Amino acid sequence: MINDLSISTAANFFTIKKKLSDKGVEDLFVALRATYGVTGHNEFKHTRESLAGARWSAICFRYEGTPAFLDEATDIRETLCGFLMIVEYQKYAAVLHSRLSLLPAFKTKHLAAVSTAQVEGAIATADAVFQKMRMRNMSVSPYAMQNKTLEAANLANVVGPGGSRRYAPRNYSVVSGGSLRSATPSTGRISYRSARVDLAGIVDFAKAVIDALRDDTAAVSPFIKSFARPVTLAEALEASQPTAFAIDTTVLIEGLDGNGPGIRLVRQAEDIVELSAEELTALVNQLERPLTISAGNRVRTVSDPESGEEAASIALNKNRIALRTLSLAPAAEVMIESLEFPLGEDENRKTLREYLDEANALIVLFDDVRLAYIDGQVFRDETLLDGGEAFLQYFRTDPSLSNVTSEKGEFNATQTAFDGTCTFGAIVDHIGAHDAILLCDDLGDEWADFIGVKEEAGLTQVCFYHAKHGALSLGAGPFHVSVSQATKNLGNMTFPEERLETKLQTWGALYVAPNQDTQISRTIRSNAPDLAAALSRTRTAPDVMRRAVIVTSSVSKQAVADTFAAIQNGHKPSPSFVQLYWLLQSFFSACTEVGATGSIVCQP
């Protein structure tokens, strides 16, 4: 039966950390059959047979499962045919499977992941032309665009280095050696596009890839080097300490959406019950919150920065960071079941902690702002080698913010203008003073605190100003709300036609402060005979520049520059500055994604 094998050239590659034996593979096959409730005969089974200098093992059997389009409680079953194959060569293993999964206990005992650098050396070679790439933002902020996919005949011609530095590649496809090849470094999955092959073809494919993985002299593509670079955990911990923690919830979302192994999230009540949509939303929001990692040895406590309550603990192992505990409700009470079993009948259900740990869903930041742990790998963003010059270009100063004492100021019923000593007043009188149109959009369904439009030298500029006030700080806390507001309203910078009429009514009224009417006009100034027409023209103007501007008195540009200078001189930044850096990098990147420019106006 094995002679009828016809399969694509794609596999997950591992290093063999504990030598395989005939008995170990036989035990795996027995456990696989038990997991799927199989009592009938195998279609075929082969244990560690030799071929072309490699050893291969394979099993295929039929089992029954619930049709994907029916509820798990149905009595209807469909017959499925599962396949799993292991090719051993030069202390590496290639695993191929269809409708069967390698059991976690076997993988933990015998196999270890190949490094990202090895995968890059094998696939992202110097001559590789990148055509498709999925990337993960190196940020713990829930306001950032977490993932994006790019596709082009040659991505090197369309992706600039400024945007790529904040992203770590998750998977990519390249043309190399005359063939299309794909890789997912975090799982060691590598595929070559080719006609389907037989047993000998699979062994040849596995050997070729393993030989490439073993070659530590391979030149890597300059294009991949423009992204975050992988380093070992040992290297990272030798020079820095972890400071911030969050969970990459995409592993849950993908499983629930059917883009990964089908899962359901459940909790124990009187019986096992599935999480409702509201409970799932609350869980995701909890997991995405940035937490603080305490100092310590191998095991570190992870706490809520606001309450100080312990939320989790992590272990800094030799090659990976493990999630040891997850103690806060609701996360501590959630379990994961496979959709292959009816609700409550998955005897191998995992706790959420176990599932997240196995999926390498931890995101950890370090006091070295260049480092981030994502997908079980530490990446370094080398842009900080320029002393923060690129980052500081997004900052500009305004002296008026040095005199600000509040965000909005005080109000009375006869007031016709914002106080000059508040952030709102600084925008009206100084920062947005040259905007021919300036609208106050604060409160209600706000797009920004102020919206400015001007035409200058034939160019149109639209500014969405988001105002904040606070004590001088180098932490991320004062920026979270502003970044969230700015990011979610990037789409409104085109003045959507279906929403503009309602907004015009708002801008035609007087400003009503919290619990206080005023005589302040929301249309601060306008040189347009028809405001609606003027704003609509910006929607299609070919030369329009859109700027999302966070105006804050809580940051000094000089203090940021001094911190970067200290970093260059070997001093470690505070954990709060690390979070500030990644949060703002994410904001600037999110603006770039929609053709806008993000910036910070702050104290000198």
306-354: pLDDT as tens digits: 888 999 999 999 889 999 999 988 888 999 998 888 888 888 899 999 9
* C-alpha 205 chain-centroid distance: 32
Domain co-membership, 378 together with 393:
no
Lowest mean pLDDT among 340-344, 479-483, 538-542: 479-483
Domain co-membership, 66 together with 155:
no
Other beta carbons within 10 angstroms of residue 67's beta carbon come to 11
Domain co-membership, 469 together with 571:
yes
160 band by pLDDT with thresholds 50, 70 and 90: low
Q: Is 42 helix (H, G, I), strand (E, B) or coil?
A: coil
Q: What is the mean pLDDT of residues 140-165?
A: 72
Q: Which residue has the higher pLDDT, 461 or 541?
A: 461
Position 139 scores a pLDDT of 59
Position 166 scores a pLDDT of 65
Q: Exposed, middle or buried, 436 (CB in 10 Å: 0-12/13-18/19+)? A: middle
Residue 92 is part of which domain span? Answer: 2-114
| Residue 373 to residue 320: CA distance in whole angstroms | 9
Other beta carbons within 10 angstroms of residue 445's beta carbon come to 10
Domain co-membership, 182 together with 322:
no
Alpha carbons within 13 angstroms on the beta-carbon side of residue 514 total 6
Position 257 scores a pLDDT of 66
Bond into 169 cis (ω within 30): no
- Asked whether residue 165 carries a pLDDT value surpassing 70, the answer given is no
144 band by pLDDT with thresholds 50, 70 and 90: low
| Residue 602 to residue 556: CA distance in whole angstroms | 6
Position 363 scores a pLDDT of 84
* Each residue's pLDDT tens digit, 32-44: 999 999 988 999 9
- Asked whether residue 259 carries a pLDDT value surpassing 50, the answer given is no
Domain co-membership, 297 together with 308:
yes
- Asked whether residue 372 carries a pLDDT value surpassing 80, the answer given is yes
184 band by pLDDT with thresholds 50, 70 and 90: very high
Q: What is the mean pLDDT of residues 521-531?
A: 91
Residues near 234 by beta carbon (within 8 Å), at least 6 away in sequence:
318, 319
Q: Which residue has the higher pLDDT, 255 or 247?
A: 247
Domain co-membership, 471 together with 589:
yes
- Asked whether residue 255 carries a pLDDT value surpassing 80, the answer given is no
Q: Which residue has the higher pLDDT, 505 or 456?
A: 505
- Asked whether residue 381 carries a pLDDT value surpassing 70, the answer given is yes
Domain co-membership, 353 together with 428:
no
Identify whether the C-beta of residue 363 lies closer than 8 Å to the C-beta of residue 246. Answer: yes
| Residue 56 to residue 34: CA distance in whole angstroms | 22
| Residue 93 to residue 504: CA distance in whole angstroms | 64
Q: What is the mean pLDDT of residues 374-398?
A: 81
Domain co-membership, 132 together with 254:
no
Q: Which residue has the higher pLDDT, 580 or 555?
A: 555
- Asked whether residue 567 carries a pLDDT value surpassing 90, the answer given is no
| Residue 295 to residue 253: CA distance in whole angstroms | 31
116 band by pLDDT with thresholds 50, 70 and 90: confident
Position 382 scores a pLDDT of 66
Domain co-membership, 276 together with 420:
no
Q: What is the mean pLDDT of residues 24-32?
A: 96
111 band by pLDDT with thresholds 50, 70 and 90: very high
Alpha carbons within 13 angstroms on the beta-carbon side of residue 56 total 25
Domain co-membership, 565 together with 576:
yes
Q: What is the mean pLDDT of the chain?
A: 88
Per the structure block, which two tokens stand in for 323?
A: 């999630």
Which domain-ending residue is among 344, 366, 382? 382
Q: For a pLDDT cut of 70, what percent of the chain falls above it? A: 95
Domain co-membership, 469 together with 514:
yes
Domain co-membership, 502 together with 405:
yes
Position 161 scores a pLDDT of 54
* Each residue's pLDDT tens digit, 221-236: 988 877 877 788 888 8
Q: How many domains does the chain have?
A: 4
DSSP output for 307-327:
T--EEEEEEE-SS-EEEEEE-
456 band by pLDDT with thresholds 50, 70 and 90: confident
Q: Which helix (H) or strand (E) holds 558?
A: helix 557-568
Q: What is the mean pLDDT of residues 483-512?
A: 89
